[in-house]
Chains A and B, each alone.
Chain A
Amino acid sequence: MKKLTKEDIQFIDTYLDNSDVVYADVRLEMVDHIASDIENSMKNGDERDFYYIFKDYMVNNKASLLNNYKSFKSKTLNKLTLKLLRSFLTLKSIFLTCVLLGLGLFFKEHIVTYLNEDVFIMLWFFTTLLVFVLWLYSNTKTKTRFIAIEQLFLAMLLLTYFAKSAFIDICMAVVSVSNKDYLYIGLLVFFIVTWFNFISITIKNFQYYSNRLNLI
């Protein structure tokens, strides 16, 4: 049975990469699917060159392939955002939240003198910057992009942005001045616990790609 050459496989991979299928873990499964289908056509008597069979495959399937990819990408983002939120319900997170809230309330008078709306805006910018640095580091280290890692970065940015906006723009407008200190401590604890959960999920994702899939 005729098999595709290394160059043919590279051609499919590059074609998909150029068609915005940027995540290597998703692409490798697509490449195998397309290559298997082309080899199947050859086995069933199609004697044309690889290029012509590939072209026909893409004419018939490109739109649905790319639509499925886009929908998979957005579903992954939703799933990871939920995972990040659900991670607040783990024992470790609950314990950390309780300890931090306890400490925050105990040292309230000292802490709140340093907290104000600008600090949280800075904190969100700092979060964005750190996520960007992590993204750069991950891209440099692995030289590939993985869907679960990148979409988690995006989920982290969206979640912290939403929290910052909700706390500052909405809660601050309706909460009385005397209760603002509690809100500041709550938001600070939320940021710290989110970072803790984000880092532990990111490590698990890297371990998945490295130990289970052997892609790193």
Chain B
Amino acid sequence: MANSKLYKGSLTTIILKLLNESDKMYGYEITQKVKEITKGELKITEGALYPALHKLEADGLLEVEMKKVDNRLRKYYKLTEKGNKETVNKLNELQEYIKTMQILVNPKFGLE
């Protein structure tokens, strides 16, 4: 992942946000979507993505669905009810964080 230290803490929020916008997604699709949205600035490696997905699943925020697609099995992830609520919380947290950082880094042009 580019600038990994800065982005690392936000990976869960990124995954939840993407899944919130679509019905279900599989691992590779998530990496490509992030690459596309950020125009290649942020690349999520499989080493960071899959453990995060498995943790979210173990925490009950995601559920899985297996499908046979193009001669192979594919594991789709989608948000659970608990996951939907957590997405709202995480996004609010992230927005607060961005606001605070903006005030700290650029006080003259801060939002407040």
Contact = CB atoms under 8 A, between A and B. Distances in A.
* Binding between chains A and B: yes
Interface of A: 3-6, 8-9, 28-33, 35-37, 39-40, 64-65, 67-68, 71-72, 75, 79, 212-215
A213 B64 contact: yes
- Per CB-CB distance, the 4 closest pairs between chain A and chain B, nearest first, are A68-B47, A36-B28, A6-B71, A9-B72
Contact of B28 (A28, A32, A68): A32
B51 A72 contact: yes
Nearest to B73: A28
Interface of B: 26-29, 32, 45-47, 50-51, 54, 58, 63-64, 66, 70-75
B32 A32 contact: no
Most buried by A among B26, B32, B58, B73: B73
Contacts, number: 57
Contact of B72 (A35, A37, A215): A35
Contacts of B28: 32-33, 36-37
Nearest to A1: B70
Contacts of B26: 32, 36
Contacts of A40: 32
A31 B72 contact: yes
Contacts of A8: 71
Contacts of B64: 212-213
Contacts of B29: 36
Nearest to B29: A36
B88 to A, nearest CB: 25
Nearest to A28: B73
B27 A33 contact: yes
A40 B35 CA distance: 13
